Amino acid sequence: MTAICLVGIGKIAVDQHVPAIAASDHWDLAATVSRAGTVHGVSAYTDFDQMLDERPDIPVISLCLPPVPRYDYAAKAIAAGRHVMLEKPPGATLAEVDALDNMAQAAGVTLYTTWHSRMAKGVAPAKAWLADKQITGAHINWKEDVRRWHPNQEWVFAPGGMGVFDPGSNALSIITEILPIPIHLCSADLHVPENRDTPIAAQLKWTENVTGDFDWRQEGPQSWDITVETSAGPLLLHDGGDRLIIGGKEIAAGNSREYPALYDRMAELVKTRASEVDVSPMIHVADAMTLGKRMITAPFDF
């Protein structure tokens, strides 16, 4: 088993990364770095530089920090010769992810930009079915409750936090994976609370008759759905990609191994010292921030 250090012990780390590592035959969680969070029985650090200095036996770093501070940690890890796994979105800007990619290539270490929703059960078969189909349109309906999934996490509404595009990038990672044709953004309406810096909701329009409706204010049942219209009929992905329905028939259903699958893939990449860097979902977020018409809406507080 390979030693790994988990940096940033917040909600996503506790809910997803720690259980995935614990269940894996590839990894041994040898250390954590966090200002407050710890994992029982695991060596805990509050200073990343100290961990790098004291633990040369740990060759792999998994970064679960918010996007803005992530670059500095990743750059230090790469400079120290460590392989790096990045939680989504992989950075606060496209340029910094490109810089990390160049650093990793020069250092001969792995850099993996993870997109966990691509590992959902229905995504691969959806991509395969759409490969030879004529696409006539598609719609993303991605609506959830920020208070439930990001409780009191103020950083999501700060510059670099991406607002509703933090979860929205999950949908974008799926649509960029399954569509056999390229799309680019034509327009966007961004709904920004008057006391915040990033959008809480957005409506997007792309080429090829592709649209998206994102909202972080949905209470009750949550909506993570993608519909693709084709000449052969519609394809529906529900529950964040876990359910695939084609022609009214359920093709795939069940709970996915999203994060375990990410760690399996990281093990493969480290073994061959290969990297996997894909920023296509981030490109659409950046385009939305550039093209988007800002509409000031009611203030939001947790």
Cis upstream peptide for 19 (omega within 30°)? no
Q: Residue 277: phi, psi to the nearest 5?
A: -120, 115
Query: Of 233, 122, 232, 137, which Cα lies nearest the Cα of 179?
Result: 137
- The letter for the amino acid at 300 is F
CA 82 to chain centre: 21
Parallel, antiparallel or unpaired: strands 201-206 and 185-193: antiparallel
Q: Respond yes or no: is residue 88 known to be catalytic.
A: yes
Catalytic residue among 88, 127, 143, 205: 88
Q: Which residues of 225-241 are buried (b: 16+ CB within 10 A; e: fewer)?
A: bbbbbbeeeebbbbbbb
Q: Residue 16: CB partners within 8 Å, gap ≥ 6?
A: 116, 258, 259
Q: 65 φ, ψ to 5°?
A: -75, 160
Q: Cβ of 180: how many Cβ atoms within 10 Å?
A: 12
Cβ atoms of 247 and 233 within 8 Å: the answer is yes
Q: Any bridge partners for residue 296, and if so which? A: 192
236: left (phi over 0), alpha (psi -120 to 50) or beta: beta
Report helix, strand or coil for 45: strand
Tell me the two tokens of residue 8.
């940033």
Whole-angstrom Cα distance, residue 171 to residue 194?
Answer: 26
Total residues found in the chain within this entry: 302
Q: Give the active site residues.
A: 88
